[in-house]
């Protein structure tokens, strides 16, 4: 029998919430991401619990136990119960009655098996008893062990219920799938047939899923498949995944340690038309994306980029130039970028105020600064004054 383990499973707060349900005669099972990640040996951030108790009952039980309960989604059966500062999302077994391709009307169910059949992927329909024993009603354990992302039942039907599942499929493939294995053929056929449904998704949701996908250690294979079946063109017109695999490989080649995944850098490699609007990027994200794109196509040296925009920007631009244009990575890139980012220009406006006035003073100061940068930050204050 398969079991999950982990400190979160034995935590007193979690045990207290499970006992709250069980002692009242209700079922209580861990479900979804916490079970999946525990089986994979990955961190468990969110604790989801499935139960046959109705939401009102969960609220009453929490009140009796002296625990804070928040009605985060009563219509869909979800109550968040907080114990010792940790949130536990408790959801009543349910079935989808009717959907519009994004939102579902649900009815509460009485069995774990009914609840499992309404979920998206088999690896997300894994449950566990309070002691960690895994319950696998739909064959998700074998799929998880094979790192195979597979829709529950008919893939086309699951997509019609919620078109966001198209993007979730590729995100899950990037995070949990085997990159050497071709994605499930039935799923890809259903996705290709259901592309029009992507237009019904809000840009905020598309952007959120895209960020999560691009934060995976290696999303290159998933993005290439998205391009092949037509998904990439629908959500990011003009995007091209070809530079993503080289970029991911280069991210591991920067000593002294690999560069962590970063969605905006990877978006810059994908390119596309008006990404800030298509993905509802924040102003900060949009500014950073434009900066990386502009600097990647410009001839600015990495040292100057680091000095003006920070060491990480210089590293990101060098990675993008290598991935997109085949330029070699500069030797000692990270070390030199860090050094350049810490430089302080030795002149101030007051140093030249006796020679220049108004706009001329600003130009003279900028020209001196550029000479100093071009010298590799070697020109001294006296040398700069002498040349100004």
**What is the token pair recorded at 77?**
């059966």
On the question of pLDDT at 257 being above 90, the answer is: no
Same domain as 85, residue 55: yes
Same domain as 353, residue 293: no
Same domain as 115, residue 59: yes
pLDDT score recorded for residue 101: 53
Same domain as 381, residue 319: no
Strands (E), the chain: 28-31, 47-51, 68-73, 78-83, 86-92, 94-99, 104-108, 127-128, 134-135
Total domain count for the chain?
4
| DSSP at 130 | T
What is the percent of the chain with per-residue pLDDT over 70, rounded to a whole number? 98
Q: For position 13, which CATH number holds? A: 3.30.460.10
Name, in order, each residue with C-beta under 8 angstroms of 209's C-beta and a sequence gap of 6 or more: 164, 167, 168, 171
pLDDT score recorded for residue 180: 85
Q: Calculate mean pLDDT across residues 252-266.
A: 90
Same domain as 215, residue 76: no
Q: Are 116 and 125 in contact (CB under 8 A)?
A: yes
Domain extent at residue 277: 238-343
Q: Are 83 and 16 in contact (CB under 8 A)?
A: yes
Taking CA atoms, 167 is separated from 133, 186, 235, 271, in Å, by 31, 15, 10, 18
Q: Is 183 helix (H, G, I), strand (E, B) or coil?
A: coil
Nearest by Cα to 146 from 183, 185, 187: 183
| Whole-number Å distance between alpha carbons of 26 and 111 | 11
pLDDT in tens, 26-60: 999 999 999 999 999 999 999 999 999 999 999 99
| Whole-number Å distance between alpha carbons of 329 and 317 | 10
Question: Pick from 124, 145, 166: which residue ends a domain?
Answer: 145
Question: Pick from 145, 180, 212: which residue ends a domain?
Answer: 145
CB atoms within 10 A of CB 158: 21
pLDDT score recorded for residue 74: 74
On the question of pLDDT at 303 being above 90, the answer is: yes
**What is the token pair recorded at 147?**
């790192």
| DSSP at 138 | T
Question: Pick from 212, 235, 258: which residue ends a domain?
Answer: 235
What is the number of alpha carbons within 13 Å of residue 95 lying toward its C-beta? 9
pLDDT band at 269 (very low <50, low <70, confident <90, very high): very high
On the question of pLDDT at 276 being above 60, the answer is: yes
Same domain as 197, residue 64: no
Q: For position 200, which CATH number holds? A: 1.10.3090.10
Same domain as 329, residue 251: yes
Q: Calculate mean pLDDT across residues 166-183.
A: 94
β-strand 78-83 against 86-92: which pairing, if any? antiparallel
Same domain as 244, residue 170: no
pLDDT in tens, 332-346: 999 999 999 999 999
Same domain as 182, residue 48: no
Q: Is 378 helix (H, G, I), strand (E, B) or coil?
A: coil
Long-range contacts of 203-206 (CB under 8 A, 24+ apart): 203/277, 203/278, 203/279, 203/280, 204/280, 205/164, 206/167, 206/235, 206/278, 206/279, 206/280
On the question of pLDDT at 245 being above 70, the answer is: yes
pLDDT score recorded for residue 107: 86
Specify the residue for token string 């383990």.
Answer: 5
pLDDT score recorded for residue 99: 61
| DSSP at 119 | S
Q: Calculate mean pLDDT across residues 152-156.
A: 96
pLDDT in tens, 66-109: 999 999 877 788 999 999 999 999 999 998 765 655 555 678 98
Same domain as 4, residue 137: yes
Same domain as 125, residue 14: yes
Same domain as 139, residue 22: yes
On the question of pLDDT at 206 being above 70, the answer is: yes
pLDDT band at 258 (very low <50, low <70, confident <90, very high): confident
């Amino acid at each position: 029998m398969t079991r999950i383990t982990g400190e979160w499973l034995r935590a007193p707060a979690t045990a207290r919430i499970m006992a709250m349900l069980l002692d009242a005669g209700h079922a209580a099972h861990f479900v979804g991401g916490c079970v999946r990640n525990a089986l994979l040996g990955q961190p468990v951030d969110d604790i989801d619990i499935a139960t046959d108790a109705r939401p009102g009952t969960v609220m009453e039980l929490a009140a009796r136990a002296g625990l804070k309960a928040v009605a985060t989604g009563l219509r869909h059966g979800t109550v968040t119960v907080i114990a010792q500062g940790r949130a536990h999302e408790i959801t009543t077994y349910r079935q989808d009655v009717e959907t519009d391709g994004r939102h579902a009307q649900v009815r509460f169910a009485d069995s774990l098996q009914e609840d499992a059949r309404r979920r998206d992927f088999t690896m997300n329909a894994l449950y566990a008893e309070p002691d960690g024993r895994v319950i696998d009603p739909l064959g998700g354990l074998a799929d998880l062990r094979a790192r195979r992302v597979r829709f529950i039942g008919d893939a086309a039907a699951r997509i019609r219920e919620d078109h966001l599942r198209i993007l979730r499929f590729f995100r899950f493939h990037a995070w949990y799938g085997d990159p050497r294995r071709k994605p499930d053929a039935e799923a890809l056929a259903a996705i290709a047939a259901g592309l029009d449904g992507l237009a019904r998704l809000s840009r905020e949701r598309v952007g959120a899923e895209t960020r999560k996908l691009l934060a995976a250690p290696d999303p290159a294979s998933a993005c290439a498949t998205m391009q092949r079946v037509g998904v990439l063109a629908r959500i990011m017109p003009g995007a091209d995944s070809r530079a993503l695999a080289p970029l991911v490989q280069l991210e591991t080649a920067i000593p002294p340690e690999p560069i962590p995944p970063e969605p905006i850098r990877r978006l810059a490699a994908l390119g596309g038309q008006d990404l800030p609007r298509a993905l509802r990027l924040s102003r900060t994200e949009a500014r950073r994306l434009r900066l990386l794109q502009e600097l990647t196509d410009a001839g600015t040296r990495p040292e100057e980029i680091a000095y003006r925009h920070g060491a990480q920007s210089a590293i990101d631009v060098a990675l993008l130039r290598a991935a997109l244009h085949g330029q070699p990575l500069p030797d000692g890139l990270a070390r030199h970028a860090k050094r350049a980012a810490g430089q302080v220009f030795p002149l101030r406006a007051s140093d030249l105020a006796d020679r220049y006035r108004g706009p001329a003073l600003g130009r003279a100061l900028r020209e001196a600064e550029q000479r100093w940068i071009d010298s590799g930050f070697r020109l001294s204050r006296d040398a700069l004054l002498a040349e100004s």
